[in-house]
């Protein structure tokens, strides 16, 4: 499931999303099993850093996080998109 929040600067979008993601992370952590099954929470605040404003860097970051979460080797992450 993806969540998109759109609004003008200073409206509280980042605060709202940090609260939503905190709750999601807590729910997933409670359901986490020893083998890592149970889900992964992937959070990105787009446009807040140079890396989150570049599609290539964003995809590499997402792939890297997912490979670590599912204990896959780093070389499984594509370098070209």
Entry pTM? 0.61
Higher pLDDT, 75 or 31: 75
Q: Find the length of the chain.
A: 81
pLDDT tens by residue, 9-62 = 899 988 998 898 888 888 777 766 665 556 777 888 777 777 777 888 888 888
Rounded CA separation 3/23 (Å): 14
Instruction: Examine the pLDDT at 74 and tell me if it is beyond 80.
Output: no
Q: What is residue 81's three-state secondary structure?
A: coil
The two tokens of residue 18 are 């940090």
Better pLDDT: 1 or 9: 9
């Amino acid at each position: 499931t993806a969540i998109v929040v759109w609004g003008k600067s200073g409206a509280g979008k980042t605060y709202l999303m940090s609260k939503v993601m905190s709750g999601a992370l807590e729910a997933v952590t409670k359901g986490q099993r020893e083998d890592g099954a149970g889900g992964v929470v992937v959070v990105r605040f787009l446009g807040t850093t140079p890396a989150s404003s570049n599609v290539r860097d964003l995809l590499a970051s997402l792939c890297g996080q997912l490979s670590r979460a599912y204990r896959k080797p780093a070389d499984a992450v594509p370098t070209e998109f």
